[in-house]
Amino acid sequence: ETNTLPFRPFETQQGDILRMEREHRVLKEQLREAEGKYELLQNRSSEEISALKELLKKSVEESEVTKNELDWFHQDLEIQVKKWQQEKKENREKLKALRNTAKKQTDTNDRYLKTNAEKEKQYNEHLNTYLDTSNKFASEKAKLEELIKKSEDDCQDCMERAVKAEISVLKNWKETEVYKLNGRAAKAEANLKILKSLSSSASEAPKLKLQIDSWETFLLNIKKQLEVVEAEYEEKIQMVKNGVRNCLTKAEALDLPSP
């Protein structure tokens, strides 16, 4: 009868514990699969959210640029409208004055009528001259605006090339100084290697210790100079990229005397 009866209170019938263990393993496997699917969906959702955020940011930036351009256009349009309204007002005042003069002259005699006709003719000539001048001014204005835009584009191109040239010069100077310092550091390391190999002898060690310390201090100072020079040139390069001018100066390392 050993192990043939249900193990109470955990079993109501024989085999309940084994059945529960199998069900537990199946549920654990299903839970592991569900967690994997959840992580996959979460990663995919994060990627889609990041892409949508980037697209939204780009749309906002483009909208800001378009709004600024529209504001500039509105300002320019308001200036032109005010100018045209002023010119229209002045022309109306001139026309009103000429009509009043013509009316007064009509009320006098034929001689003044003749004079009025002459003045009417002069007015038409002045008006035609004004229209011709206005058309010429508009044409010249368009040409000047085109020249200004071309000059601005050329200036921007020159500025970009100047920035690239300054960055190139600073990088060349940096590489030259770094090469010099690395050469001095390599020589110092070679000397240290020779001195340390000679100091392996117990009799020579006390004599060479001071020289080894001096060369190690010299090598440490060279490495510090190397970091300072690289940092200073990188700062100048970054300043040039940010639009700062007059940064084209050499950052030469200190001439440290060799031990």
Determine, yes or no, domain membership for 82. Answer: no
pLDDT digits (tens, 9 = 90+) for 156-190: 888 888 888 888 988 898 888 888 889 888 998 99
pLDDT digits (tens, 9 = 90+) for 134-151: 889 899 899 999 999 989
Q: Quick count: other Cβ atoms within 10 Å of Cβ 11?
A: 15
pLDDT tier, 205 (very low <50, low <70, confident <90, very high otherwise): low
- Domain encompassing residue 24: 16-75
Determine, yes or no, domain membership for 224. Answer: yes
Which secondary structure element, helix H or strand E, spans residue 240, and what is its range? helix 205-241
Determine, yes or no, domain membership for 80. Answer: no
Cα distance between residue 71 and residue 65, in whole Å: 10
State the total domains in the chain. Answer: 2
End-to-end CA distance of the chain: 96
DSSP tag of 5: S
Determine, yes or no, domain membership for 142. Answer: no
Determine, yes or no, domain membership for 132. Answer: no
Determine, yes or no, domain membership for 35. Answer: yes
Determine, yes or no, domain membership for 48. Answer: yes
- Domain end residue (candidates: 59, 75, 91): 75
Cα distance between residue 55 and residue 237, in whole Å: 31
Determine, yes or no, domain membership for 3. Answer: no
The predicted model scores a pTM of 0.43
Cα distance between residue 37 and residue 113, in whole Å: 101
Give the per-residue pLDDT at 113. 73
For residue 179, the one-letter residue type is Y
